[in-house]
């Protein structure tokens, strides 16, 4: 809301709640689905509060579940410092997410943990796939986005609001099985290499059987590269090796394939 010129505003200064102080740390609970503690943020907070504790209360609901201030709670408990808190009835996991929008933003794995804990099957299977193929959540979302025909930004929004589904999972699994053919290359499950192979594998003209033969005969050609575009150039060169007529090429500057 924006004030208009000369608009009168009634000033108020009401008491909403009261801040309490306690050393009874056991009365608090971690709400189901809240994110795990971050190492760097946690350690910095310890160092800061060892020097001087500021009166910054944590927020709880009527069940004494921590809505905002999980790190502050853990640090106070570890250091034996008084814990300041206030209570707002009716708050839950949605308010936890909103609180973190103005603090240390959630990452994909925080949303994954939340939705697993509340029993959403798609997220449980997502984590199983992620762990089996030893790739990051962001990589797996990128692959799903490719086969669901949406942008990575769109699929992340869907994942975060809890409505993610496994549409295209068979194609995702098929690609990940092909990725395993490069296991001899230690960078094969890096973000850049995975993205490069995904773009190549998605071409109708690409034949993975040809690539597999090339790699089996000349595995030493696989070398670490700086970016996914560099990896695409490398993979295209390997794929075309020994072919009289080059099948296709790649323009790294424009990030596009061209065909002979």
d(CA 36, CA 116): 13
Mean pLDDT within 74-91:
89
First to last CA, the chain: 59
Backbone phi, psi, residue 68, to 5°: -145, 130
Is the model's pLDDT at 164 over the cut of 80? yes
pTM of model > 0.75:
no
Can you give the three-state secondary structure of 179-198, one letter per residue? HHHHCCCCCCCCHHHHHHHH
Cα–chain center distance at 171: 21
Q: Tell which residue, 235, 195, 179, has the closest CA to residue 250.
A: 235
Contact indicator for 83, 25 with CB cutoff of 8 Å: yes
d(CA 66, CA 111): 17
pLDDT the model gives residue 176: 97
What Å distances lie between residue 71 and 9, 18, 200, CA to CA?
A: 38, 21, 43
**Helix and strand counts by DSSP (H, E) for the chain:** 11, 7
Q: What is the pLDDT of residues 9-61, one digit of tens each?
A: 788 787 778 889 999 999 998 876 555 665 555 776 787 788 888 788 888 88
Query: Token pair for residue 220?
Result: 């030493």
Q: Tell which residue, 103, 17, 101, 23, has the closest CA to residue 60.
A: 17
Query: Could you identify the residue written with the tokens 């809505």?
Result: 67
What Å distances lie between residue 135 and 126, 141, 149, 159, 203, CA to CA?
A: 11, 10, 21, 17, 22
CB atoms under 10 Å from CB of 31, counted, come to 21
Query: Token pair for residue 199?
Result: 């773009």
Burial class (CB in 10 A: 0-12, 13-18, 19+), 119: exposed
> How many residues are there in the chain?
260
Q: What is the mean pLDDT of the chain?
A: 85
Q: What is the pLDDT of residues 107-133, one digit of tens each?
A: 889 889 888 988 889 999 999 999 999
Which 8-state DSSP code applies to residue 80?
T
Backbone phi, psi, residue 30, to 5°: -90, 120
């Amino acid at each position: 809301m924006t004030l208009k010129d000369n608009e009168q505003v009634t000033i108020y200064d009401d008491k909403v709640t009261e801040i309490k102080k306690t050393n009874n740390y056991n009365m608090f609970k971690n709400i189901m689905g809240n994110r795990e503690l971050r190492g760097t943020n946690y350690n910095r907070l310890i160092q800061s509060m060892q020097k001087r504790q500021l009166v910054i209360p944590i927020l709880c609901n009527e069940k004494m579940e921590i809505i905002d201030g999980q790190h502050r709670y853990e640090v106070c408990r570890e250091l034996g410092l008084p814990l300041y808190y206030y209570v707002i009835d009716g708050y839950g996991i949605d308010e936890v997410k909103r609180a973190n929008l103005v603090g240390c933003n959630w990452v994909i794995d925080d949303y994954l943990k939340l939705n697993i804990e509340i029993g959403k099957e798609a997220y449980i299977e997502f984590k199983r796939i992620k762990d089996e193929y030893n790739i990051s959540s962001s990589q797996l979302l990128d692959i799903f986005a490719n086969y669901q025909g949406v942008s990575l930004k769109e699929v992340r929004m869907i994942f975060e609001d809890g409505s993610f589904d496994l549409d295209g999972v068979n194609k995702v699994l098929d690609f990940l099985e092909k990725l395993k053919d490069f296991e001899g290359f230690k960078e094969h499950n890096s973000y850049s290499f995975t993205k490069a192979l995904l773009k190549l594998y998605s071409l109708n003209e690409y034949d993975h059987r040809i690539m597999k033969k090339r790699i089996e005969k000349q595995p030493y050609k696989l070398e670490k590269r700086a970016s996914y575009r560099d990896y695409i150039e490398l993979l295209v060169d390997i794929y075309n090796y020994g072919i009289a007529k080059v099948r296709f090429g790649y323009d790294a500057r424009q990030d596009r394939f061209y065909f002979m």
